[in-house]
Amino acid sequence: MQTVNPYEVKGDIDYNKLIADFGLKPLTKETLERLDNLAKGSNYMIRRGIYFAERDLNWLFDQYEQGNRFYVYTGIAPSGGMTIAQTMQFQMAKWLQDRFGAEVLIMIPDEEKFLVKRNPAFTLDNGHKLAMEDALDVAALGFDSRKTQIFLDTEYAKTMYKQAVRVSKYITSSIIKDAFGFGNDMNIGALFYTSFQAVPAFLKSVQAEKNIPCLIPMGVDQDVHFRVARNAISKLGYYKPASLVSKFMPGLSMNPKMSASDPNDTIYLSDDEATVVKKVNKAITGQQATMELQKKHGGNPDNCAVCQYYKYMFEPDDKKLNAIFEGERNGSLLAGEHKKDLAMRINKFLKEHREAKKKLEKKLDEFMLHD
Amino acid sequence: MQTVNPYEVKGDIDYNKLIADFGLKPLTKETLERLDNLAKGSNYMIRRGIYFAERDLNWLFDQYEQGNRFYVYTGIAPSGGMTIAQTMQFQMAKWLQDRFGAEVLIMIPDEEKFLVKRNPAFTLDNGHKLAMEDALDVAALGFDSRKTQIFLDTEYAKTMYKQAVRVSKYITSSIIKDAFGFGNDMNIGALFYTSFQAVPAFLKSVQAEKNIPCLIPMGVDQDVHFRVARNAISKLGYYKPASLVSKFMPGLSMNPKMSASDPNDTIYLSDDEATVVKKVNKAITGQQATMELQKKHGGNPDNCAVCQYYKYMFEPDDKKLNAIFEGERNGSLLAGEHKKDLAMRINKFLKEHREAKKKLEKKLDEFMLHD
């Protein structure tokens, strides 16, 4: 049994089964080639199958070829410090911005965790504070401020509520309850929330008063919101959003999905150098119990957090990644050096990120939308 | 069987049963006397039992006596032209403003009918247009612009959504479904809507950063929103709102509740003089079938729309009202003259209202709140 939705990821994850269950399309070789051609280059996360599924991507390419450019929509629900795994969708969004000149619209739902989580630590005020921190983290990932807009739900609610009401009319409570596995005791704000998350998928069409295609890079746990909202969006007369759907970056302990709420499973963008070294040293590797056994039998990169982090984020060169995986398999790569190098790369990324944040601190307003 | 909620009023209405079913308090002689003393005067609608029930009114008076003044919250859901029956709550709100110096906060939920009604004529754009018309009608009922604020939900949503989210957290979907009789196919916007209607009952406390008592004059069909929201409001740390609950003004055809959507049952504020005369002429009276029978047996004022309209709105003098009722009962009052006089009074009220609207047209902004 696997459970995969925005509020719970449980069990071993069978991504092929998710494709079937959710009605996604696998990302085929033909689609990849078409993307590479249009993008005039290839993205390592797509190439490596980290993005493994899609909706309406070929339709989106048709539109693009006809001169109907798309915008990109993605987001993050503040939960207390952004993790490196949570940068994935933004790195993809930035790549799409760089390659397609796409506008990027980023939603930070500062009310979502308050509504859905039972933990009283998730207050609305705290959600707002964390959301502002996330906004700076997101902006610092390299977006072009002239083409990127970030908003918090509570700050943009005058614009959002009206459109959320329009979508909500076509989404029944039983559909939401079934889709998310909510019980009768789930609150009405959590039920309504999907309407909010749906809005940015057609908001630019509302504002432009003409249909503009939208592409949503997302983790597969988010698909349910749009699966539910697609018909409603279509009934309002807007294009259904296309999507590019990713697997989860595993946790340091090889949790199938890095948990933002477990500091030992996670590297936060705010972690200092020593913390990163310490955390990476404790990471699960696919190596054998002793150095002798590892040299003799080799390890399994698929069960190795270190190898996976290279694959997901820290070694964009395929040849070098293959060498790392091969070294893990044939036993020539030892855990200590392996981890030391990864920690160094993560710290390099975090240092650059800290510097980018510092530069943006006073300029964040250039990115922010509010009513 | 009776059904009484904001979206359906069905069956003969037993107001005593509603008091029991809804957990309201009957408006007792002691409470009335206390109100008269504090108000330094008596309100004919309360005196006559048109307002028949309450919640926490004596608590509100305690607060008032301790110098903790209350504000008044009421509203109207735009449905296409305000009716004379729909002025009731505003006339009560104005009386409370005049007598207690109360601030009045008026919500016009321009999204409500769109969300709840299946009739495709209720679009969101149309709701907005009708809401602006309602706003002018309401303001023209004599409110003091320095103490009265009117808003449309979609125009004030940045302020409202955040607070609605807070309340919604404590209202489950099953409570809403049971309370309103919604099926599984009801949309999530309609379920969430109660959170919006709850907000003005504590919004002034939020804004003042201290608890301010709130009194809501309302038709008994609206009680369910607050019945459901009271606990949630209390859990947020605010006072539960007090309420003053009215019966329904009957329709011209003696429907238990004047239907805003049936032009033949209703007098709109926009009806011209000839239309009023024609409609009143067709009104149901409690009189006998022929003039001879009426003179002999008399009629029943409780079954007479004309008598009821005097009682609800057009004869504030109790002695004169008693004379009208007595004339109906003893057969000395004949339908023709009876109706002619009522039509004249209604037309006088409507003429003054038209003039007040004209004066306010350019000044409506003084009343309006928006983000």
3-class SS letters over chain B = CCEEECCEEECCCCHHHHHHHHCCEECCHHHHHHHHHHHCCCCHHHHCCCEEEEECHHHHHHHHHCCCCCEEEEECCCCCCCECHHHHHHHHHHHHHHHHCCCEEEEECCCHHHHHCCCCCCCHHHHHHHHHHHHHHHHCCCCCCCCEEEEEHHHCHHHHHHHHHHHHCCCEHHHHHHHHCCCCCCEHHHHHHHHHHHHHHCHHHHHHCCCCCEEEEEEHHHHHHHHHHHHHHHHCCCCCCEEEEECCCCCCCCCCCCCCCCCCCCCECCCCHHHHHHHHHCCCCCCCCCHHHHHHHCCCHHHCHHHHHHHHHHCCCHHHHHHHHHHHHHCCCCHHHHHHHHHHHHHHHHHHHHHHHHHHHHHHHHCECCC
Cβ of B172 within 8 Å of Cβ of A188? The answer is yes
Please, are residues A96 and A102 in contact by the beta-carbon 8 Å criterion? yes
10 Å Cβ neighbour count for A40? Answer: 8
Within this chain, do residues B226 and B311 fall inside the same structural domain, yes or no?
no
Contacts of A32 (CB under 8 A, 6+ apart): A42, A46, A47
- Interface contacts (A, B; CB < 8 Å): 124
For B100, list phi and psi in degrees, rounded to 5: -115, 5
For residue B333, the model assigns a pLDDT of: 83
Nearest-by-Cβ selection for A124 from B124, B162, B187: B162
Please, are residues A216 and A73 in contact by the beta-carbon 8 Å criterion? yes
> Directed axis angle between helix A157-168 and helix A223-235, to 10°?
80
For residue A295, the model assigns a pLDDT of: 79
How many residues are present in chain B? 371
- Per-residue pLDDT for B158 more than 80? yes
- The answer to whether residue B261 is domain-embedded is no
Mean pLDDT of B347-364: 97
Within this chain, do residues B63 and B209 fall inside the same structural domain, yes or no?
yes
10 Å Cβ neighbour count for B263? Answer: 16
Cβ of B157 within 8 Å of Cβ of A158? The answer is yes
- The answer to whether residue B260 is domain-embedded is no
Domain count, chain A: 2
Chain A interface includes B22 (CB < 8 A)? no
Nearest-by-Cβ selection for B173 from A124, A156, A188: A188
Q: Which of A128, A109, A205, A215 is nearest to A166 (CA)?
A: A205
| Best to test chain B binding among A151, A188, A195, A228 (most B CBs inside 10 Å) | A188
- The answer to whether residue B266 is domain-embedded is no
Chain A interface includes B44 (CB < 8 A)? no
| Best to test chain A binding among B188, B191, B235, B371 (most A CBs inside 10 Å) | B188
As beta bridge partners, residue B26 has B53
Within this chain, do residues B176 and B284 fall inside the same structural domain, yes or no?
no
Please, are residues A343 and A276 in contact by the beta-carbon 8 Å criterion? yes
Chain A interface includes B66 (CB < 8 A)? no
Within this chain, do residues A288 and A332 fall inside the same structural domain, yes or no?
yes
Q: Which of B178, B148, B170, B191 is nearest to B233 (CA)?
A: B170
Q: How far is B314 from chain A (nearest CA, A)?
A: 39
Pairing of strands B214-219, B148-152: unpaired
pLDDT tens track for B316-350 = 999 999 999 999 898 888 888 889 999 999 999 99
Element at A116 (helix H, strand E): helix A112-116
| CA distance linking residue A223 with residue A213, whole number of Å | 17
Q: How far is B267 from chain A (nearest CA, A)?
A: 31
At A345, which CATH number?
1.10.240.10
In this structure, is the dihedral angle defined by the CA atoms of residues B181, B184, B190 and B195, taken in order, positive or negative?
Answer: positive
Q: Which of B176, B138, B120, B110 is nearest to A158 (CA)?
A: B110
Chain B interface includes A188 (CB < 8 A)? yes
| Mean predicted lDDT score pLDDT of chain B | 95
Cβ of A158 within 8 Å of Cβ of B162? The answer is no
For residue B295, the model assigns a pLDDT of: 79
10 Å Cβ neighbour count for A296? Answer: 10
Please, are residues A308 and A248 in contact by the beta-carbon 8 Å criterion? no
- The answer to whether residue A258 is domain-embedded is no
For residue A41, the model assigns a pLDDT of: 96
If contacts are CB pairs under 8 Å, which of residues 329-368 in chain B contact chain A?
none
Classify the complex by whether its ipTM is higher than 0.90, answering yes or no.
yes
Chain B interface includes A169 (CB < 8 A)? yes
- Per-residue pLDDT for B286 more than 80? no
Q: Quick one: CA torsion of A94, A98, A103, A104, rounded to 10 degrees? A: 0
| CA distance linking residue A78 with residue A113, whole number of Å | 7
Please list the pLDDT of chain A residue by residue as tens digits (371 residues).
Answer: 799 999 999 988 999 999 999 999 999 999 999 999 999 999 999 999 999 999 999 999 999 999 999 999 999 999 889 999 999 999 999 999 999 999 999 999 999 999 999 888 899 999 999 999 999 999 999 999 999 999 999 999 999 999 999 999 999 999 999 999 999 999 999 999 999 999 999 999 999 999 999 999 999 999 999 999 999 999 999 999 999 999 999 999 998 899 888 889 999 999 999 999 999 999 998 777 787 887 788 889 999 999 999 999 999 999 999 999 999 898 888 888 889 999 999 999 999 999 999 999 999 999 999 99
Q: Which residue of B has its CA nearest to A120?
A: B169
For residue A76, the model assigns a pLDDT of: 97
Q: Which two tokens stand for residue B4?
A: 């009484």
Within this chain, do residues A238 and A299 fall inside the same structural domain, yes or no?
no
- Per-residue pLDDT for B18 more than 90? yes
Cβ of B187 within 8 Å of Cβ of A172? The answer is yes
Cβ of B192 within 8 Å of Cβ of A194? The answer is no
Within this chain, do residues B240 and B125 fall inside the same structural domain, yes or no?
yes
For residue A289, the model assigns a pLDDT of: 78
Q: Which residues of chain A does B173 touch, with a Cβ-Cβ cutoff of 8 Å?
A: 173, 177, 182, 184, 186-188, 191
Q: Which long-range contacts (CB under 8 A, 24 or more apart) does B251-255 make?
A: B251/B305, B252/B279, B252/B280, B252/B282, B252/B283, B252/B284, B252/B305, B253/B283, B253/B284, B253/B305, B254/B284, B254/B303, B254/B304, B254/B305, B254/B308
DSSP code for A311:
I
Chain A interface includes B3 (CB < 8 A)? no
Describe the strand order of the beta sheet including B25-26 as a list of residue ranges. B25-26, B51-55, B242-246, B214-219, B71-75, B104-108, B148-152
At B62, which CATH number?
3.40.50.620
- The answer to whether residue B258 is domain-embedded is no
| CA distance linking residue B191 with residue A187, whole number of Å | 10
Q: Which two tokens stand for residue B366?
A: 């003084």
For residue B268, the model assigns a pLDDT of: 97
| Lowest pLDDT segment from B104-113, B144-153, B258-267, B304-313 | B258-267
Burial A18-32 (b: 16+ CB within 10 A, else e): bbeebebeebeeebb
Within this chain, do residues A17 and A106 fall inside the same structural domain, yes or no?
yes
At A105, the amino acid letter reads: L
Element at A105 (helix H, strand E): strand A104-108
Nearest-by-Cβ selection for B157 from A162, A171, A174: A162
For B268, list phi and psi in degrees, rounded to 5: -85, 155
Helix (H, G, I), strand (E, B) or coil at A104: strand
Cβ of A189 within 8 Å of Cβ of B155? The answer is no
Q: Which residues of chain B does A164 touch, with a Cβ-Cβ cutoff of 8 Å?
A: 189
For residue A354, the model assigns a pLDDT of: 98
Q: How far is B207 from chain A (nearest CA, A)?
A: 15
Chain A interface includes B160 (CB < 8 A)? yes
10 Å Cβ neighbour count for B59? Answer: 13
Chain A interface includes B179 (CB < 8 A)? no
> Directed axis angle between helix A15-22 and helix A223-235, to 10°?
20
Within this chain, do residues B45 and B104 fall inside the same structural domain, yes or no?
yes
Please, are residues B269 and B353 in contact by the beta-carbon 8 Å criterion? yes
| Best to test chain B binding among A118, A173, A370 (most B CBs inside 10 Å) | A173
| Lowest pLDDT segment from B85-99, B109-123, B138-152 | B109-123
Within this chain, do residues A24 and A158 fall inside the same structural domain, yes or no?
yes
- The answer to whether residue B302 is domain-embedded is yes
| Best to test chain B binding among A155, A165, A166 (most B CBs inside 10 Å) | A165
Give me the half-sphere count of Cα atoms (radius 13 Å) on the Cβ side of residue B78: 30
Within this chain, do residues A19 and A106 fall inside the same structural domain, yes or no?
yes
Q: Domain boundary residue among B250, B284, B315? A: B250
Please, are residues B192 and B172 in contact by the beta-carbon 8 Å criterion? no
As beta bridge partners, residue B53 has B26, B245
Cβ of A174 within 8 Å of Cβ of B184? The answer is yes
Chain B interface includes A237 (CB < 8 A)? no
Within this chain, do residues A41 and A121 fall inside the same structural domain, yes or no?
yes
Q: Which residues of chain B does A122 touch, with a Cβ-Cβ cutoff of 8 Å?
A: none
Cβ of A165 within 8 Å of Cβ of B114? The answer is yes
Chain B interface includes A7 (CB < 8 A)? no
For residue B289, the model assigns a pLDDT of: 77
| CA distance linking residue A84 with residue A82, whole number of Å | 7
Confidence of residue B179 (pLDDT cuts 50, 70, 90): very high
Task: Give percent above pLDDT 70 in chain B.
Answer: 100
Cβ of B189 within 8 Å of Cβ of A172? The answer is no
Q: Which residue of B has its CA nearest to A166?
A: B124
- The answer to whether residue A257 is domain-embedded is no
Mean pLDDT of B232-245: 98
Q: Which residues of chain B does A190 touch, with a Cβ-Cβ cutoff of 8 Å?
A: 168
Q: Domain boundary residue among B208, B235, B250? A: B250
The pTM assigned to this predicted structure is 0.95
Confidence of residue B298 (pLDDT cuts 50, 70, 90): confident
| CA distance linking residue B234 with residue B176, whole number of Å | 17
- The answer to whether residue A371 is domain-embedded is no
Within this chain, do residues A231 and A276 fall inside the same structural domain, yes or no?
no
Q: Which of B13, B1, B3, B40 is nearest to B248 (CA)?
A: B13
Cβ of A187 within 8 Å of Cβ of B171? The answer is yes
Q: Determine the structural domain holding residue B348 and report its residue range.
A: 273-359
For residue B260, the model assigns a pLDDT of: 84
Nearest-by-Cβ selection for A189 from B111, B190, B192: B192
DSSP code for A5:
E
As beta bridge partners, residue A218 has A245
Confidence of residue B82 (pLDDT cuts 50, 70, 90): very high
